[in-house]
Amino acid sequence: MLTASAPLKDLPPVTFAGAGPGAAEHLTLGVLRALEAAEVVIHDRLVGEEVMALIPAHVRRIDVGKEGFGPSVPQSAINRVLVETAQTGARVVRLKGGDPGIFARLDEEIEALEAAGLSFRILPGLSTAPVAAAAIGQALTKRGRNASLRILTGHDMDGFAEQDWRGLARATEVAAIYMGKKSARFIQGRLLMHGAGPETPVTLVENASRADQRVHAGTLATLPALALCCSGPAIILFGLAPRAAIPAMTSHEEARA
């Protein structure tokens, strides 16, 4: 947990909190306690229903959801709401899906608070990548396979995001690609262009950790088709395939249900 330097105003610090990918079981105790003590929760679109249900009924909720390539609350408006709400003296929790420091524009909101003389603290959350990897029975790093892990975004403020495609195209590389569903064909094209094998395993985990989680496994050659199968938010695990035990376990559980 990081606390900002001494505030210029005698007001409670804003708490930036990570809600995890969706399931309440992935919420940290620190975040749960912050939600229970909050007076206002300013939350994203991707915060799971199970987590939202843990917010006490009397707490005011402000939805500032954003969606890549879709309808969004402008970041400037989010910053303004955050500052104005904190200036009332309320105990504010800024609740973000996953971890607030991974592709969640945390710095921009911190800078808005600092410009207004307001303090903050950060409570990390479990990000989607390790949860999705666990869902397919895989580790994100493995001795002898990959000594590094790339965490990428499929798009940025300028559109499709350019990456170190040549480095990523090397055999045994592993990457977790956030917000890459709508840029799947672009990602595929760039990787093939820079030498990645079309047989490279690729897995999309849709709605990771939630009741409607789905796993779409294939290869780089089939990545665009996999992305079309996803109606909910999905993370792309490049270089990873589900272990054989996972589909069998899923089938067994479905049969018991």
Domain borders along the chain are 2-123, 128-249
Q: Average of pLDDT values for 162-182?
A: 96
* Contact (Cβ atoms closer than 8 angstroms) between residue 125 and residue 102: no
Residue 54 one-letter amino acid: L
Q: Average of pLDDT values for 118-146?
A: 96
* Contact (Cβ atoms closer than 8 angstroms) between residue 208 and residue 239: no
Surface-to-core class of residue 187, CB atoms within 10 Å of its CB (0-12 exposed, 13-18 middle, 19+ buried): buried
Least confident of 34-48, 57-71, 138-152, 167-181: 57-71
Q: What percent of the chain has pLDDT over 90?
A: 84
pLDDT for the residue 247: 55
Is CATH 1.10.8.50 what the domain over 128-249 is classified as, yes or no?
no
Token representation of residue 52: 């939202």
The confidence band for 67, taking pLDDT boundaries of 50, 70 and 90, is low
- Whether residue 59 has pLDDT greater than 80: yes
pLDDT for the residue 72: 75
Q: Average of pLDDT values for 31-60?
A: 97
Q: In Å, what is the CA distance from 208 to each residue of 128, 178, 230?
A: 7, 12, 12
1.10.1050.10, 3.40.1010.10, 1.10.3720.10, 3.40.30.10: which CATH number matches 2-123?
Answer: 3.40.1010.10
pLDDT for the residue 257: 47
The per-residue pLDDT of the chain, averaged, comes to 91
- Active site (catalytic) residues: 44, 66
pLDDT for the residue 13: 98
- Whether residue 120 has pLDDT greater than 90: yes
The confidence band for 5, taking pLDDT boundaries of 50, 70 and 90, is very low
- Whether residue 199 has pLDDT greater than 60: yes
Q: What is the DSSP letter of 55?
A: S
Residue with tokens 């800024």: 94
Query: How many helices and strands, by DSSP H and E, does the chain display?
Result: 9, 13
CA distance 88 to 62: 15
Paired strand residues for 175: 150, 238
Supply the pTM of this predicted model: 0.87
The rounded Cα 119 to chain-centroid distance in angstroms is: 24
**Phi, psi angles (nearest 5°) of residue 69:** 60, 20
CA distance 246 to 250: 6
- Whether residue 63 has pLDDT greater than 90: yes
